Amino acid sequence: MEADRTTATPRLVAGFKFKENKMRIAAGLIFAGAVSLLASSAAWSQTPPAKGAASPQAAAAPAPAAAPAPTRPPCNNPNALGIGRTVEIDTTGGPGFGFEHFKELDFLRDKEVVLTFDDGPWPVNTPAVLKALAEECTTGIFFPIGKHATYYPEILKQVMAAGHSIGSHTWSHAALVNKKLNEQQRKDEIEKGFSAVKWALGGKAPAPFFRFPALQHPPEMVTYLGARNIGIFSCDLDSFDFKASKAQTIVDNVMRKVEKNGKGIVLMHDFQKHTAEALPEILKKLKAGGYKVVAMRAKAPVQTIAQYDEDIVKDLKLPTVSSRPVSSVVQTISE
């Protein structure tokens, strides 16, 4: 339901009687000018939707233009895994992907995989994941936590610069099924997460791709994301890398499940050290097994809500924070 809009209506002017023909012409010209002016004023008097309106679409920014395809660096590895195909996703209505929870959209062909990474950005680990993907000239979807994005915006910008798709994974990784959270707090986790990622990317809105923490989907939030035209990602294959004590365990888990299913959306975490260590071997095994990576791109970026964008900036712009580059503040004088 959109917020009420106030429209000025020009008043009709009538009842003039004139005796002379010249006076009729003059009055007609005056009347036409007045109507034109009033109509123009009416158009400018449209009031914007009230802040905090019930409908998320009413509170969101105007619809953005189609999202440009991410620019990928040139591939210098002739034997790389590469990208088998790229698909464009229209997220109208909040489609769901990943057979663990959503079985309607089976778009992957045999021997096709989508690589996804949660919980970043994080120092050392996320750059190592990016390096492994770059060496094989392939791609993934990253679902950063909003707080982490504000901690390390320069790392998230590296993800964007490498041409990967970026969605969101809530503001603080709160379990949205937690009964201690009311409905508004759940929405805040979703919206603030997207606004934080947008801020970290220098104002560039991410894709309308969302993954629930721990893959726990409260039905009312699934409905909410549908109303916001945000696609929901589950997975087909969970690496359980957060439980692994060594990289080889992750390699074995991923490849065993890929070979069993023959295709699928793979869930990993660029936050995890062992995942970064395992990824080069996983990519080599996918290549050797004849698997192809599918890139998923959004048709249009997410429409963040202005109130949350403003709150992120307000929270982060403290008067004591220096805007100087690191190199001008901290210098190594001996090693």
Determine if the peptide bond prior to 121 is cis (ω within 30°): yes
Tell me the per-residue pLDDT of 9-28, one tens digit each, with 9 for 90 and over.
333 333 434 344 444 444 44
In 27-103, beta strands by DSSP E: 85-89, 96-97
Tell me the per-residue pLDDT of 114-172, one tens digit each, with 9 for 90 and over.
999 999 999 999 999 999 999 999 999 999 999 999 999 999 999 999 999 999 999 99
Dig out the tokens for 87 from the structure: 């698909």
pTM of the entire predicted model: 0.77
Number of neighbours of residue 300 by Cβ within 10 angstroms: 19
The rounded distance, in Å, linking the Cα atoms of 238 and 115 is: 11
Tell me the per-residue pLDDT of 237-258, one tens digit each, with 9 for 90 and over.
999 999 999 999 999 999 999 9
Residue closest to 293 by CA, chosen among 91, 143, 132: 132
The rounded distance, in Å, linking the Cα atoms of 100 and 326 is: 44
Q: Identify the pLDDT of residue 90.
A: 98
Alpha carbon distances (Å) from 177 to 173, 201, 219, 223: 12, 29, 9, 14
